[in-house]
Structure 1
Amino acid sequence: MRFTTLNLVKFGGATICTINMFRSSLAFSPKIHVETRHVAPTLPIKPWPTRWHQSLRKERRQRWFSSRGIALLSVEAAAEEESLAATTAVPSEDAAPVARGKKKNTLPDIAPCSTGHEGKKSGGAKSPRSKKAALPPFIPNPRWRDQLEIIREMRKDATAPVDLFGCSELGRRKATSPEHMRFQTLISSMLSSQTTDLVNEKAMGRLFDACGITIEGLEALGEEGIVQAIKPVSFYTAKAGNILKVCAILKTQYTGDIPRTFEELMQLPGVGPKMATLVCAYGWGEIVGICVDTHVHRISNRLGWANTWNFKNHKAQNPEKTRKLLESWMPKEHWKEVNPLLVGLGQQTCRAIAPKCGDCKLAAVCPSYSASAE
């Protein structure tokens, strides 16, 4: 007779099966006897907290309460206060007798403390590591004046598209009065956003032929007529709606003229910092800042006038940071000429893709000069 035992085990609290097989050598017929029993799951044993763990928990608890303006009394202090209160208190006749043999609860008391943060949201005490180190002040290229003089020499012919079809030129074209010139400058600056000067010039020409670019003519033309006139400028539908909103605001609040201050211009729909600065400079003759577009932003970083270029994502640039940085160190007497000089340089020589470094006179003083671009 042969005796065989098979043990099937399933961990985690399942059934353990023991199969005993008896096989007779004569009959060759196995007899199977199955015994089944359940066992409890074996859980991992949690180590007993040591003194170090207990002190760490106590320290974390006290830090949590203190960050929320709550003082946590220790067990010893609570017991001392209880004993002091028991010795000084006078027992009354109606007081219930205290049952002997029972230990009083000596859990720590929680009492509010005046930390000066009552009524304020507290996100916890900030560690000194969370504070970012202050960046050193930006130092522009020490030869920036030499660079600016060379750019003036390169741009003295004034043949770039910005010189022929810029917003300042389009504002003066066919203007019948100073108010009309300022209004045309505002409209041309609104259309120039993310649009080339040549496309903007053609759109302004069609718009002038359709309505004369006046408040009354634009309102009579309507949004659909404006859209058909200004195509294919970028975002022509949104710009057409903003133009009609601006016309309504100017008609009711400014008696047909445009706002004079930078802050008021920024309140108009579809007008940003670049447009407001440009309109103040060429509409009212007041220099309130540097007009920074994509060309000024790119070339300023190439020349070492700014360090605001986003190298992580070249498509997510912020010219507003460049404007604030340039205005922080550049003398105000150069603010107005920076935009036409750098825009024309960017259109003709210092292009975004394949710059003509070989034809540029700034090669000797440009930190971004590339011999491979020649």
Structure 2
Amino acid sequence: MTLSSPEAPTAAEARPERPGVTELRLAAFATHRRVRFPLGPLTLVTGPSGSGKTAALRAYEALARLGAGAELREVFPDPVGCVPERSRPDAERRRGFRIGCTVDGPEGPVRLDVAVQAEPELRVVGERLSAGGRTLLETALRDPGRPSVQAAWHTGGSAVVTRVPLPDDRLGTALLPLRVAGRTPGECQVLAAAEQMVLALRSVYACDPSPDAMRPPVALGYGRLLRDCGNLADVLWRTRSECGRRYAHLVAAVRAGCAGTVTDVVAELLGDGTVRGLLDRGDGLRTPLGLLGDGELRYLALALVLLTGPGVLEVDPAGEVPAAYQSLTVLADGFDRGLDARQTGELVRLAARMCERGHIRLVGTVSDGAHAHGAAGVTVVDLTP
């Protein structure tokens, strides 16, 4: 595996106001063992088929869902598929996997590492939240017969730590804001680190545009872009009237990436109450999106994702935190799937421009790293053996 990234910030630079994941760790997950992925505002993971690109994004999304409070069984419907290949069970027939990440933000780098047992039953068996060389939260499975782990978090008062049981089917870090009182400086540090971690993880939108889903007309009214972008026309109808400036950027991006003349991208309301998207070719000629090729549709959908935000994408941002302190992370498996070289180049440049502004981050997988290596503002993770 080889890595390349933009110049690192100097020590004199202030901590980022918006928390963001800066490293993904797969200690033992699917095809990966003892692997670390550096993540920047725009990260592209490249490598041949079978190198583990999709597994890396799967682990990131799993951490995001756990950070949002989801139960283990929702996050890992097939936990055995996450266990590293050729992993042997112990004397009690237990097997599992380990993943983690680092989030940088106002509190500095905060680390999270999670150990999950997949067999004989799914449960969290260990978790560690740490910052500045200090362990702030640590959990461990003490009694396999109980559905809980023993948790200890830093207090810093008369008692150095507080020990309580926590459920073994959820991420303990996500539960801390409801469990820690914040009466001592130590507890305040635990809360601040946990909140930074949860804020960075929960603001994630995973998408994989499906051209077949985008072709037919769709019902009008939902207005938030689904994971498969199947309701693209409905979102076009909404966003056109909400932000003319960003919509103009979308039209310019589509013009650069789609064949033929493009003067506008419009949504047309049909007699049955549904809406369909069209490319305005000028001179009264309009092409329904249903007639576009797979690559053009995926390009259009990804450009729209990059040019919108949490209010338009189907994501649950932290409502208690001002938007100015949040950064949405887009996970795009197959970022260049179906795209030609020109479209891929345009999309990478658009992503770099949008990620540079700080309100959005992107982690995508690409089959061809030619447009990633050497591109300004792109962190490249190359899984080529």
Q: By the TM > 0.5 criterion, same fold?
A: no
Name the TM-score, length of structure 1 as normaliser.
0.20
Name the TM-score, length of structure 2 as normaliser.
0.20
Higher relative contact order (CA 8 A, sep 6+): 2
**Greater fraction of residues in helix:** 1
**Greater fraction of residues in strand:** 2
